[in-house]
Amino acid sequence: MPFHPPTPPCPEAFVDRSRPLLALLAATALAVPGLTALSSAAHAADADVLQNGGFESGLSGWTCSASSGTTVNSPVHSGSSALQATPAGSDDAQCAQTVSVQPNSQYTLAGYVRGSYVYLGASGTGTTDVSTWTQSAPDWQKLSTTFTTGPSTTKVTVYTHGWYGTGAYDADDLSLTGPGGGGGTTQPPAVPAGLTASSVTSSSVALSWSAVSGATGYAVYRDGVKVQSASGTSATVTGLTASTAYSFQVTAVNDAGESAKSAAVVVTTSTGGSGGDPGGGGSAGLPAHALVGYLHSSFANGSGYTRLADVPDSWDVIDLAFAEPTSPTSGDVEFTRCPVTDCPNAESDADFKAAIKAKQAAGKKVLISIGGQNGQVQLTTTAARDAFVSSVEKIIDTYGLDGLDIDFEGHSLSLDTSDTDFKNPTTPVIVNLISALKTLKAEYGAKFMLTMAPETFFVQNGYQYYGTGKWGGQDPRCGAYLPVIYALRDDLTLLHVQDYNSGPIMGLDNQYHSMGGADFHIAMTDMLLTGFPVAGDPNNVFPPLRPDQVAIGMPASTNAGNGYVAPSEVTKTLDCLTKKTGCGSYTTHGTWPDLRGLMTWSINWDRYSNWEFQKTFDGYFG
């Protein structure tokens, strides 16, 4: 939480994937048997088993990573449409289709491409997966390769993709010629009809639709993004925001592919209760809009020591900074108040405890914050987990606190190489932290407040990068808070991501956003309230948080950290997110009048700056 230099973005390994590496990949690929083109002649019984290979039906049957693909009318190789896909960041703009095939059979994959470093390949063959590529194709160039399926292979995934940072590529007239898929269906199902919505609440919508002949399942889309799959003709979409309009569509799927999207149904969720606690996160005592701040309680710096009793009533949640571990992996946490040698005006323990009670009597919440810039906490073992729980309980009980703030920074959280699913984490430091926090929540009950203050590196950066990545070499801390937030979303009172000391982060508009203005705060908060596909995977979506669970983290002054914005930019941010006015170039995916409020580092630095941040909050929310 204290000032430190901006964290570099995750994908350093991708930046270093230069042309020599591409040449090496090419040499390796061309050394694999079966990459030479075959004659176009096919057996009499062979057929093209690929669906919509000319993209005349849009992207029907195809799935493109990170929404990277679209169809265009020019350039085309034949017909009236072609695929155009654009790599961005660590996403190579892969568009793929899974088709039914026969075991022990030979297939020829072919297609026409334009652009630099364009690939065409097949995976899941059951033998040797194949690919072919071109380094440069200023005009349409044919690519072709063959493979033989394994003895039990019945499905193969065909794909095309570009390369990182090389610009858009085009593909058209793709085909996979060989025996049909063993009597299975060869056409995607029809478009579902009769989509209706019912049982609309402030956070969920029940959907139903008519059955489609030949469909083996269905996919539900919210505002154009796939959010869940269904085996039957109904689904309930949860995690929605109160008083917000959503557009829903549904598709039918089978082994041959996916239908086009149905007609849209637009639904507006009902109004949520002000100051309520629909998720059990201990927020019942908070006002509808809350001001959260960190109070320097264990250390001194240039902002000066502020007594707890002297904190103005505007501050609704006061996080005592910080409790720190006795060692990074011990799990044993201690809270030591700033000594009078460093903080001459520090109050006595008795006065400090009396001030906590006085704040609570006035309706304020006082929490212990664990971690900070220097407090690395790594619960690598169950013994460390148990020590963490018992030591935190001791601090809470000693001071009579309302809850716990997790401010793990640095190397506290990182993901093992094999840990790739944020919904089912396996890394010990992640699993043990989740277990410890659930134990504490169960111990203290519904009124226990749990808040978190991660950096953007650990949350929003997960839109592009998660852990070490499919190629390896990424920073394992990328997105490492996501499994913790997801597992505790029903217990979480507030998430206030630190929108400061951050490098550029890609928003849902697939543009990079940098600190220093309202645009950064708007884009980062929109991601939390809309949800996003993790590492660009549309089938692995981090669901949105409720607006009453979200506060925007900002530095109180230029002294407090990089990323300070003037009061006018704070107001602009709030106007956009709560009223959808003055949003500038970024288009949000909703309007959230129930946004909980603002967080700042820190109360001390705000006092040093004549309470500018507090005055901005009071002036806006009253």
Residues with a catalytic annotation lie at 409
Tokens of 421: 């699913």
What is the spatial distance between Cα 615 and Cα 609, in angstroms, rounded to a whole number?
11
Q: Phi and psi at residue 86, in whole multiples of 5°?
A: -125, 115
What is the spatial distance between Cα 34 and Cα 45, in angstroms, rounded to a whole number?
22
Among the listed residues 501, 522, 500, the one whose alpha carbon sits nearest the alpha carbon of residue 511 = 522
CA neighbours within 13 Å on the CB side: how many for 159?
20
Among the listed residues 468, 304, 298, the one whose alpha carbon sits nearest the alpha carbon of residue 399 = 298
- Strand runs labelled E in 556-619: 597-601
Among the listed residues 457, 423, 434, the one whose alpha carbon sits nearest the alpha carbon of residue 540 = 423
What is the spatial distance between Cα 310 and Cα 348, in angstroms, rounded to a whole number?
14
Q: At what angle do helices 349-361 and 382-399 cross, to 10 degrees?
A: 80
What is the spatial distance between Cα 31 and Cα 132, in angstroms, rounded to a whole number?
11
CA distances in angstroms from 374 to 9, 149, 237, 380, listed in the order given: 21, 55, 41, 18
CA distances in angstroms from 174 to 97, 345, 468, listed in the order given: 11, 75, 32
What is the spatial distance between Cα 194 and Cα 208, in angstroms, rounded to a whole number?
8
What is the spatial distance between Cα 590 and Cα 245, in angstroms, rounded to a whole number?
7
Tokens of 371: 């971690």
Length of the chain, in residues: 622
